Every structure is written in C-alpha cells, then in structure tokens.
C-alpha cells in the first residue's frame, strides 16, 4: 500500500517528467514579445536551461489552460459569439508566431481576444491601475474597463501592470494589420456558423477590427472576472519590434559562445534591486530559465553562482565561434 503522500509525490514527479523545457523556435513567440528581451534571445539561440522548473509552476500553467477553456465556454453559453479558437498567426521582421485564443463578435466586428488568469494581488493592482475600485469589482463579481473612452496617451492599465500581456496584444494586432488574410474571417460553411455572423458578413467575410484587443481576466483567488479593451498603439509596437529585430540580428546564424552570451546580456530588461544592503534579483529573474547564464557576470548578486554555465555549442571549441 502507498504511504501517505506517495500518490501526490508520484503526480509531481510525473508533471516534472512532462516538462520538455523551452520550445525551440526559429523566431519569437507572440505571447512573450513583452518578456525580457534577453530571455527571449537566450531561448531562440537554444541556450540550455539553468533553472529547474518547479512542478508547482507547471501546474499553474495547466490551470491557466483550463481557465481559458472555462471562460470561453462561459462566454459562449452566455450569448457571445466566439470563433477561430487557437488560430495561428505568423509575421516577419523579426520572425514570430503564435496563436490567438479566439475572435469575439462586438458591435458587428470580430475582435481578437485572450484569456488571462491571475492571482488576487495582481488583480487588485490591475484594477486600481485602471482607476477603478477593486472592492467594487470583487463585490459585484464582474467589472469592465473600456479605455476607448479615454485619450490613448493616458492609457496605462495592462501596459503598466502586465507589460507582457500588453505587448502580446499589440503584437497580434500588428501581425494582423500586416497580412491581408488575417484581416477578415472567412465563413467557410455558413450553415455551421452563428446567425449573428451571417448577419454581419459581406461576401462571406466578417471584418476583423484592429483598433483594439480584448483581455478577459480571471482572478484565481475568488473567481472575479474583469474585461479590458487594449487600444492599438502603432508607434509603441513598432518600437518594440525594432528592438526585437535588433536582438534577432545579433543572434541569427551564430553559435552559442561567450561572445554571444555577452551580446545577449546587452538586452537584459530587468535590473537587480537592493534589499537589506544585498543585491537581489527580481521575481522575473529568479524564475527565469536562463538566470545563471544571464547573471554569471555579476557574482555579487545573491543566488548567482558566478560560474559561466557551459551554454556553448559542442562544435564551438574556441568559445567565440560566431559563424
Ligand atoms: S534572468 Fe532576468 S534579465 Fe536575465 S534573461 Fe532572465 S528575465 Fe531577463
């Protein structure tokens, strides 16, 4: 008979064994465009992970997928028209790919959307940043913030609280604007689509609106829901993509080497902070897959081993191979 706790230990070991690490891509992932640029470049360049992922984090990601399905199911059941789940998008300069959670019909147009699950602290910060009352949101169980009513330069909610969600939304809108085939939704089989889509279709196509992007947010602590419309900002995403392109040019076609590691460190976007007279890494870095590689040049930081992990390619014997 299993000893107490054995089944859960087995479960956690199984979860850990399912972790295949960072998915190797030839370009950027749309969903992480806003994540620290150095982290993205380490991943694209194929650097090995230096931090073991906690089974707890793997469980958090799995829960996020379940919540996404639940929110989409609830939207549909309550009368929203949601189509094109997991639709693939790709774009160039720099190369990037990803899939949207779906398209939702609002005001006769389809909008891109994504579902986010977040804990209570992050949720409260987000709503406060939107200038709204988190207590009202929690009391009423639902709150929507629509920045279409404010001047774009004043817009700050998700951009300030979760920049990576902001850049993800901007990245998808920019990709859609750059490709004709992403700007309309084709009704392949009118008999299978909702009446509402038939009503707004022109030549069996429904326009995809790209003035903004919807985020549906689920508070994991108490199931409060929140909705935010993120306005498109062409200048901001152009600037972000220019930085990504600059990073991509630094690593493209190069083997892992000390020189490449140093070049990628130039793209770090998160600095350590001083706490109780010690230099410590912020949570994003402590959880980062490449933490030791990234900060090996700064051994004075707490938790950094100060030894360059061997992230070089097997065939880069000189350690400086950039061919
Ligand atoms: S450790 Fe921090 S700064 Fe370095 S790549 Fe990761 S997130 Fe970026």
Ligand 1: centre distance to CA 54 (Å): 17
Strand pairing class (142-145; 184-186): unpaired
For residue 98, with 0-12 CB atoms within 10 Å meaning exposed, 13-18 middle and 19 or more buried, which class applies? buried
Residue 309: how many other CB atoms lie within 10 Å:
17
pLDDT tens-digit readout, 55-93: 888 899 899 999 999 999 999 999 899 987 878 888 999
> In which residue are the tokens 């630094």 written?
250
Q: Look at the alpha carbons of 251, 252, 254, 256 in this order and tell me if their dihedral is positive or negative.
A: positive
Mutate to test the pocket of ligand 1, among 44, 53, 281, 288 (most ligand atoms within 8 A of CB): 288
Q: Is 297 in the pocket of ligand 1 (CB under 6 A)?
A: no
pLDDT of 318 over the 50 cut:
no
pLDDT in the model for residue 307: 80
Ligand 1: centre distance to CA 259 (Å): 17
pTM (2 d.p.) = 0.86
Confidence of residue 320 (pLDDT cuts 50, 70, 90): very low
pLDDT in the model for residue 2: 75
Comparison of pLDDT for 320 and 162, the residue scoring more: 162
Confidence of residue 314 (pLDDT cuts 50, 70, 90): low
> In which residue are the tokens 């639709």 written?
87
Mean pLDDT of the 118-131 span: 88
Confidence of residue 322 (pLDDT cuts 50, 70, 90): very low
Ligand 1: centre distance to CA 56 (Å): 20
Instruction: Compute the distance between CA of residue 71 and CA of residue 123 in angstroms, rounded to an integer.
Output: 16
Mutate to test the pocket of ligand 1, among 32, 33, 36, 293 (most ligand atoms within 8 A of CB): 36
């Amino acid at each position: 008979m299993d000893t107490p706790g054995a089944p859960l230990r087995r479960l956690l070991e199984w979860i850990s064994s399912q972790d295949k690490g960072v998915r190797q891509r030839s370009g950027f992932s749309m969903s992480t465009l806003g994540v620290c640029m150095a982290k993205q470049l380490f991943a694209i360049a194929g650097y090995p992970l230096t931090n073991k992922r906690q089974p707890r984090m793997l469980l958090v990601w799995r829960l996020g997928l379940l919540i996404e399905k639940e929110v989409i199911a609830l939207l549909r059941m309550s009368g929203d028209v949601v189509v094109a789940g997991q639709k693939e998008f790709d774009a160039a300069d720099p190369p990037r790919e990803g899939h949207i959670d779906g398209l939702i019909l609002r005001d006769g147009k389809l909008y891109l959307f994504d579902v986010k699950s977040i804990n209570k602290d992050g949720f409260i910060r987000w709503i406060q940043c939107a200038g709204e009352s988190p207590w009202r949101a929690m009391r009423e169980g639902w709150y929507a913030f629509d920045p279409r009513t404010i001047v774009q330069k004043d817009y700050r909610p998700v951009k300030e609280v979760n920049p990576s969600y902001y850049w993800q939304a901007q990245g998808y809108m920019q990709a859609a604007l750059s490709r004709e085939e992403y700007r309309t939704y084709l009704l392949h089989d009118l008999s299978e689509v909702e009446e509402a889509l038939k009503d707004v279709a022109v030549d069996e196509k429904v326009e995809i609106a790209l003035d903004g992007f919807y985020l549906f947010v689920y508070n994991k602590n108490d199931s409060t829901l929140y909705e935010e419309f993120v306005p498109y900002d062409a200048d901001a995403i152009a600037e972000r993509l220019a930085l990504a392109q600059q990073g991509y040019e630094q690593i493209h076609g190069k083997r892992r080497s000390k020189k490449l590691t140093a070049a990628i460190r130039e793209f770090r976007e998160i600095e350590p902070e001083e706490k109780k007279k010690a230099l410590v890494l912020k949570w994003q870095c402590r959880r980062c897959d490449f933490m030791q590689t990234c900060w090996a040049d700064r051994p004075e930081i707490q938790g950094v081993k100060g030894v360059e992990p061997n992230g070089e390619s097997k065939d880069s014997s000189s350690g400086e191979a950039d061919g």
